[in-house]
Amino acid sequence: MKIYLLILGIFFSLTLHADNMQEANLAYDNGNYKKAYELWLPYAEKREIRAMHNIGTMSLKGQGITANDYEAFKWYSMAAEAGLAESQYALGLLYKSGEGTNKDLSEAFRLFYKAAKQDVIEAQVELAIMYNDGYYFNEGFKLLKKAADQGSAKAQYKLTMSYCFGLGTDKNLKEALFWAEQTKDSGLFSQEIIDKLWKTCKL
């Protein structure tokens, strides 16, 4: 009887958790950030990994709470340490910019690397940029190509430059034009910017 009651208690606890998380997701999607924050916070305080990440994001953006970089850093750190790739990427951005913590490019690189290995496209792009900044163009090119193939407009734009100037690959104007067109279709960059890049590329 005791075992039955224990199992029943666990079942209802899990059901309540799922319902609350779903309600929080719905509130967030509908722009009711205060409600979403209030629903997620108790779970974040119990070290629920997704809730910690969400509270970190809301703290960073000032959604349902006053924006606080240090709070965002705290929650992202805990979720990243627990292994959540998106939090590793988000934490890497904070280390890169120095928001909520001291600027540390080595730590940013480490976190981007971990997240990129788990196929976070944005982390692949950030890691590629850091490789290129350090003149490791071959590594940068491979990551940009991988992210561009998955639809990242930022990677497509950077890949256009790689083909234009032969960074990590042979110079190839045909490939450069192809990726410039992909970038244009994304709407992330203006036609003026793309035309300027293409004009420079053909020089």
Q: Under CATH, which number does the domain 121-203 receive?
A: 1.25.40
Over the chain, what is the mean pLDDT? 89
Sign of the alpha-carbon torsion through 171, 177, 182, 186: positive
φ, ψ of residue 89 in degrees (nearest 5): -65, -50
CB 156 within 8 A of CB 186: yes
pTM, 2 dp: 0.86
φ, ψ of residue 120 in degrees (nearest 5): -80, 110
Q: Note the pLDDT of residue 186.
A: 78
φ, ψ of residue 62 in degrees (nearest 5): 70, 40
CB 64 within 8 A of CB 36: yes
Nearest-angstrom CA–CA distance, 71 and 104: 18
DSSP SS3 for 56: helix
**Range among 1-5, 44-48, 171-175 rated most confident:** 44-48
Per CATH, 1-118 and 121-203 having the same topology is answered: yes
Nearest-angstrom CA–CA distance, 59 and 78: 14
Nearest-angstrom CA–CA distance, 201 and 47: 50
Per residue in 29-78, pLDDT (tens digit) is 999 999 999 999 999 999 999 999 999 999 999 999 999 999 999 999 99
User: Tokens representing 102?
Assistant: 């001291």
The residues spanned by each domain of the chain are 1-118, 121-203
The domain made up of 1-118 has a fold known as 1.25.40
Q: Within 62-152, where are the H helices?
A: 69-81, 85-97, 105-117, 121-133, 137-149
Q: Give me the torsion for CA of 103, 106, 107, 108, rounded to 10°.
A: 70
Average pLDDT of the segment spanning 92-106: 98
Per residue in 138-157, pLDDT (tens digit) is 999 999 999 999 999 999 99
User: Tokens representing 111?
Assistant: 């976190």
Nearest-angstrom CA–CA distance, 24 and 53: 13
Nearest-angstrom CA–CA distance, 92 and 112: 6
Chain centroid to Cα 168, Å, comes to 24
Nearest-angstrom CA–CA distance, 143 and 197: 21
